[in-house]
Structure 1
């Protein structure tokens, strides 16, 4: 009695699993080439395919049509490797259907060679049904293994990335080449850090980074490094471009999003320094109703003065006296004094800068001296520092 179609196909698969595996790999190379992008992937794919073919041959030979099939160890190993390489799960699952097509095509050829007529058709139907159950079981196992490995890999990668960033920002010695691989970002060039944030901490860091994309393009160039580990905040490192005008930059941020920008820095030290400066600029910007974009170089002194905010506020209050009051009149006098110092103690230039008459400036300066109880030139550095603290530490509206 001639062997059944199932047994004939099982015999072929067991004798020629290597040749059939190559047929499957050829189909994969044509339709999902990313699965075979290098020799390591191809070797694992070949081993996994041979193991699957032998398992299917066993199912055919013993008519194991009612059990739940599982992927062999070699197929799971290939799935784990692809998960670590970032290959998509749909691409992997597609390869199983391609293998199923190769097998069914060969089964159909064998059926055409049969003289049994209806029995060959029934055998072919049984092989087709078995191939679906077998593939579904194997694909389910591989998908579970893939998702498990991706989760573990992502967790490990994120933890390693966070640890690397922490070491860099703390100034600890790191393996620069390894750090660059972990971050996917060169550390030997120029860096510019941007800290973007929202007053609403519920907004995800990824959304904030997206909202700041146009700003990053305006002040930087090349592919940025984006970190969104802190709720309501995103930190972006980019290579610095020529600084655009402040007013053009501010318009690039949507309402509710603000940003602070450090100075450009070079190398590993510059990577950490520009981030530290952006954080300091944010500490200043976050306590006042100022522009949407704050550059560290514009508020560096204020950032230093406000490192101890309570002490700075006390100093300003003692130095300014009634000029520290949160009234319109006191604010006008503080603005005049700030302009006077900024314009080299020149009353005419101060008047031009503020858009008022020179006599108005003179009158305001006399009024300020009366409140202070001393000439404004008697302690100019202390007075300028106090005015700066009052400006950046004033309560918002």
Structure 2
């Protein structure tokens, strides 16, 4: 409730009834101006336009009551009503700056009508009107701030609801509902991306502290012309990318520039029906990397590792049967022999090249290889043994990522 000096309050008390008589005219004028000058209001339905007019009249009426000193127009009540208007307009999709202009227009109309009534009643343009003017605009500013608060509150709620809906739709795609044409149409509209054509699934597990390892990928890809939708599953970031004419290599390069941890990518699939399978492949690819390895890998890059990752029991048995008593050695000695075996296999069975890689003498490599044969029970010249050792080394690195990248 406004606090004016007794003389000012008395004059306002005389004018308030005459202002109240003009509420409908003020509301009609306000609606006319808004519909002529603001496209967002012109696009409203007839029902929403009627609500806008009623809301404008109620706001003007509260302004008149405030000038008249009504207890029902105290500042907390005015702010609460203004917040309600802000929330309603946000839900209707009216831009905030348009809503604030409407509120300021209401303050202007109230002030102009007060001047007109004052002249008609012969109270003159005394200094008391200056004091009232300051009060009118302070109240208007406070209500505009409350409108903005309510608007932003509703925006946050709407955004959260949209995010939840998008997450549900994404979950449906990942669970295999992409073969349902009705679901796909709804999903495309809600997600804002076409789910036909060339698609790519991406999975980025969180880091050791639970933080995302692909910071803000959607906008970064959008700047390069790639539309995508992102959500979470089992704590990991999950994205479905619409490639269009883009090459996979380009997208992998852009993701690599963002990644701070392991990222798995599927192969390119056609249409929504294949997204569930693409997600599984991307998730498997991501699991083949150590937690702190900031690489972006495709499932085709990691097929042997994927086989071992997806069959942990077989992987463990393969490691144990292929490496035998070597795994019983002290950790330091075991690491030396495993590194030697890895270098030997990478050198296509050449002890000389393996020695160069390990910065040691060829005879040292030969001695270690004989020790490996003794501990594992396999011969380095046996092709099958070499295959098993290759897979076993991948398995040991998957279990002990500190040994280096697999």
Same fold (TM over 0.5): yes
- 1:392 is matched with 398
Distance in 2 (alpha carbons) for counterparts of 1:107 and 1:277: 71
How many residue pairs are counted as aligned between the two chains? 375
Q: Which residue of 2 aligns with 1:199?
A: 207
Contact kept, 8 Å, 2:35 with 2:42, in 1: the verdict is: no
SS at match of 1:39: coil
Per-residue CA deviations over 1:2-35 (Å, capped at 9, x if unaligned) read: x9654444333324632332124445x2xxx5x4
Q: Quote the residue 2:265 is aligned against.
A: 261
Q: Indicate how the Cα distance of structure 1 residues 356 and 269 shifts in structure 2: closer, same or farther if over 3 A, else same.
A: farther
2:160 is the alignment partner of 1:160 = no
**Structure 1: gaps spanning 5 or more residues:** 341-345
Q: Do the aligned partners of 1:322 and 1:330 also contact (CA within 8 Å) in 2? A: no
Deviation at 1:170, TM superposition (A): 1.3
Counterpart-to-counterpart distance in 1, 2:353 and 2:159:
58
Partner of 2:214: 209
Distance in 2 separating the partners of 1:75 and 1:286: 54
Q: Which deviates more from structure 2 when the two are superposed, residues 258-267 or residues 44-53?
A: 44-53
Residues 76-98 of structure 1 deviation map (CA, whole Å, 9 limit, x = unaligned): 88644532355565653443123
Asked if 2 retains the 8 angstrom alpha-carbon contact of 1:195 and 1:234, the reply is: yes
Tell me which residue corresponds to 1:181.
189
Selected match of 2:339 from 317, 331, 334 = 331
Q: Which residue number in structure 2 is paired with residue 47 of structure 1? A: 51
Q: Tell me which residue corresponds to 1:321.
A: 324
1:48/1:75 contact within 8 Å kept: no
Which of residues 299, 303, 312 in structure 2 aligns to 1:300? 303
Partner residue in 2 for 1:343: none
Within 5 A, what are the aligned runs for 1:69-88?
69=73, 79-84=86-91
Q: Deviations over 1:149-174 (max 9, x none)?
A: 44543443333222222221111365
Q: Deviations over 1:84-118 (max 9, x none)?
A: 35556565344312321233234335545664425
Q: Distance in 1 between matches of 2:251 and 2:352?
A: 23
Contact kept in structure 1, 2:264 and 2:282, CA below 8 Å: yes
Q: Find the counterpart in structure 2 of residue 14 from structure 1.
A: 24
SS at 1:168 equivalent: helix
- Equivalent residue of 1:201, what SS? coil
| 5+ residue gaps, structure 2 | 1-12
Q: What displacement does 1:213 show?
A: 7.4
Task: Find out whether 1:65 has 2:69 as its counterpart.
Answer: yes
1:104 pairs with 2:111:
yes
In structure 2, C-alpha distance between the alignment counterparts of 1:263 and 1:246, rounded to whole Å: 12
Change in CA separation of 1:302 and 1:37 when aligned onto 2, cut-off 3 Å: farther
- CA 1:319/1:124 → structure 2, altered by over 3 Å: closer, same or farther? same
Alpha carbon RMSD of aligned pairs, Å?
Answer: 4.8
Q: Equivalents in 2 of 1:214, 1:106: separation in Å?
A: 49
TM-score, L = length of structure 2: 0.70
Distance 1:129 1:163 in 2: 50
